[in-house]
Chain A
Amino acid sequence: MAHHEIVIAGFGGQGLLFIGKVLAYAGLIEKRQLSWLPSYGPEMRGGTANCNVILSDDPVGSPIVQHPNVLIVMNAPSLDKYEKAVVPGGKIFVDSTLITRKVERDDVDVYYVPATQMAKDMGLGNLANMILFGTVIRETGCIQDATVEEALRHVIPARKMDLLDVNLRAIQVGKDYQA
Chain B
Amino acid sequence: MKETVLMKGNEAIAEAAILAGCRHYFGYPITPQTEVAAYMAKKMPKIGGTFLQAESEIAAINMVYGVASTGHPAMTSSSSPGISLKAEGISYLAGADLPALIVNVQRGGPGLGGIQPSQSDYFFTTRGPGHGDFHVLVFAPSSVQEMADLTGRALHLAWKYRMPAMLLADGTMGQMMEPVTLPDACNAFGDDNPWAATGTEMKRPHNIITSLDLSPENLEKQNFERFERYKKIEETECLWEEYLLDDADICIVACGITARVSRNAIVEARKQGLKVGMLRPITLWPFPKKALAAAAEHVGAFLCVEMNMGQMKEDVELAIRCKKPVALCSRVGGMIPTPDEVLEHIRKIAEGGDNA
Interface residues of A (CB under 8 A from B): 21, 24-25, 28, 33-38, 40-41, 60-64, 66, 154
Contacts and interface: CB of A to CB of B under 8 A. Distances in A.
Contacts of A60: 178, 260
A160 to B, nearest CB: 18
A40 B340 CA distance: 24
B267 interface: yes
B320 to A, nearest CB: 26
B175 A38 contact: yes
B31 interface: yes
B6 A24 contact: yes
Nearest to B176: A37
Contacts of B172: 37, 63-64
5 contacts: A36-B176, A40-B31, A41-B116, A60-B260, A62-B264
B178 A35 contact: yes
A38 B171 CA distance: 11
Contacts of A40: 31-32, 115, 171, 175
A63 B176 contact: yes
Given A28-B5, A37-B172, 4 more contacts: A21-B177, A33-B179, A36-B178, A40-B171
Interface in B168-221: 171-172, 175-179
Given A24-B6, A25-B6, A34-B178, A62 B340 contact: no
B236 interface: no
Interface string B319-339: 000000000000000001011
A63 B32 contact: no
A24 B32 CA distance: 21
Interface of B: 4-6, 31-32, 115-116, 171-172, 175-179, 257, 260-261, 263-264, 267, 336, 338-340
A61 B115 CA distance: 23
Taking chain A's interface residues, is the majority helix, strand, or loop, or is none over half, making it mixed?
A: mixed
A24 B261 contact: no
Given A25-B6, A40-B31, A41-B116, A64 B179 contact: no
Contact of A62 (B6, B116, B179, B261): B261
Contacts of A66: 338-340
A40 B117 CA distance: 10
B179 A28 contact: yes
A37 B175 CA distance: 7
| From B115, B116, B178, B261, residue with most partner A Cβ within 10 Å | B178
Contacts of A62: 257, 260-261, 263-264, 339
Nearest to A154: B6
Contact of A64 (B32, B115, B178, B336): B336
A61 B171 CA distance: 17
Nearest to B267: A61
Contacts of A63: 172, 176, 178, 257, 260
A34 B260 CA distance: 13
Q: Most chain-B CB neighbours within 10 Å: which of A37, A38, A62, A64?
A: A62
A125 B4 CA distance: 34
Contacts of B338: 64, 66
B6 A61 contact: no
B264 A28 contact: no
A62 B336 CA distance: 11
